[in-house]
Each structure stands twice: as structure tokens, then as C-alpha cells.
Amino acid sequence: MERTLVMIKPDGVQRNLIGKIINIFEEKGLKVIALKKVRLSKEQAKAFYIVHKDRPFYEELTDYMSSGPVVAMVLEGEDAIKRVREIMGATDPAEAAEGTIRKLFGLDKGRNTVHGSDSPESASKEIPFFFSEFELIGAE
């Protein structure tokens, strides 16, 4: 069993896509073991995306991610990190495969509707960014 951090980004929350997106993950057998809606400050967005601090899109990305509420969740399942990345699709919605969340709902490379941890190392930092151990309620 593996755990990964997923965020529904401001464009997804604003367009009332929370339920549809969670449904896609649940239908694929992933379990929601923690869930919350939060509004990130600019500083929190910069801390979350600190690995991208030298990328040209860092300011734009962190402005965007602090522009409205997001929904953060921890999903659990076999091979959850890789499977979530596959279900989300490529970063640029224009390049995302048919049926992926970013293909279905993404607006552009920045406003691509969902985030998912890209590795076990990222997940182990991103999960505690939002959730304490007692908020993670695993499957019985």
C-alpha cells in the first residue's frame, strides 16, 4: 500500500469539480484517507513548491495556487503514486491522454486542475505539509 498527496487546484474548486474528480479516483479503487479544503497563502504555496524555486514559472505558479481555495487529500492504494499520475495525465492538458483528469478538465499548463506527488520522496514531504498522522485514516 502506498500513499500520495493530491490537490484539486483553484480552477477545479472554482468550477465545482471537487466531486467529479474525487469520483474518478474512487472509481479506480483509490481510497480517500484524509481530506480538507484550504486556502494557501503565497508563502505556503512557495513552501509547497520549493523544489521549483529556480524555474521560470515559480512566481506564476505560486500566485495561482494562492489565488483561491484548494482541496488537499491523501489517497491510498497499491502503486498509488504512479497510478494517480497516470489518472491525472501530462502536465500540459493539450498533451494529456484521452480520459485523464487534465485532458477532461485542464485549462492550460498552469491551470491544470490537479496536483499529485511525483515520487515517494515528494509524497513523504507533501503529506505532512497538509496532514498530521492522526488525520490519516487508513482502510480497515
How far is it, in rounded angstroms, from Cα 2 to Cα 15? 29
Q: Is 60 in the site for ligand IDP (CB under 6 A)?
A: yes
Strand locations in 9-86, DSSP E?
31-38, 70-77
Q: Which does 115 bind (CB under 5 to 8 A by kind): ligand IDP, Mg ion, none?
A: ligand IDP
Residue type, 78: E
Element holding 39 (H helix, E strand): none
Q: Is 118 in the site for Mg ion (CB under 5 A)?
A: yes
Q: Is 68 in the site for ligand IDP (CB under 6 A)?
A: no
Strand locations in 1-140, DSSP E?
2-8, 31-38, 70-77, 114-116
Q: Is 112 in the site for ligand IDP (CB under 6 A)?
A: yes
Nearer to Mg ion, 129 or 138 (CB): 129
CB of 87 to Mg ion, least distance (A): 15
Residues contributing to the site for ligand IDP (CB under 6 A) = 57, 60-61, 91, 109-110, 112, 115, 118
